[in-house]
Amino acid sequence: MRLKLTVAYDGTAFRGWARQPAARTVEGELRRALEELYGSVEGLAVAGRTDTGVHALANVVSVEVEGGPPPERAAEALNGSLPEDVAVAAVEQAPDDFHARFHARSRSYRYRIWRRRERSALEARRALWWPRPFDVAMADANAQALLGEHDFRAFTPTDTRHGVLVRVVKQVRWVEVDEDVAAFEITADSFLRHMVRTLVGTVLEGRDLAPLLEGRPRSEAGATAPPHGLYLTHVSY
């Protein structure tokens, strides 16, 4: 039986999604819990391979299992075995050919910024502390250049493993969540490594995004923002 899992996690204590020897990862914890419940676990795939420190509200996993609890009881059973910083929000039976990564039509991310002059103990691993002035309306106007199809090589490491650097951005905006928090929200068909974080870093440095969307080198964009402000919020199929 093939399952579709919706998974949320706090990325603070993980070395990213992908399983690694001698490192605590989200995939490692999820696979351990699945193997405790099911007689066979094969073909585990994920929609978003998040980096160290990045969070997820609704990442999607596909996996083939045998035995174990039925789908309607699987989330509760898995959560009983998972650590407190990972939770399965939903489980459903999927078509036999469903693949969480290859069948995804778009992914959405949010990057949160704490804008007060005083740092926040509660937001220390949830948002980037930015005590300097930041014009959300100006940042939003700048970000509209991202809509459509562009070459994003300026926003990913030079030694990237991606062969194609063109991505299609479907929705983008900067918003004031409240008087203390601003957020960058973006939806695209897929993302390059560090793409969202480098877009944020470039905007925070006051740089214009439009000229960088024509295949400019990485050196012309801004710094990569730290991972703890980034969340994978939704995957569409």
Amino acid at 39: G
Residues 6+ positions from 149 with CB-CB distance below 8 Å: 166, 167, 168
Structure tokens at 66: 């045998």
Structure tokens at 166: 């063109």
Q: Could you confirm whether 159 is annotated as catalytic?
A: no
Q: Rounded to an integer, what distance in angstroms lies between the CA atom of residue 85 and that of residue 72?
A: 22
Q: Rounded to an integer, what distance in angstroms lies between the CA atom of residue 159 and that of residue 49?
A: 18
Q: Within 10 Å of residue 64's Cβ, how many Cβ atoms?
A: 17
Residues 112/231, Cβ–Cβ less than 8 Å? yes
Q: Rounded to an integer, what distance in angstroms lies between the CA atom of residue 4 and that of residue 125?
A: 29
Residue with tokens 């012309």: 220
Give catalytic residues, as residue numbers. Answer: 51
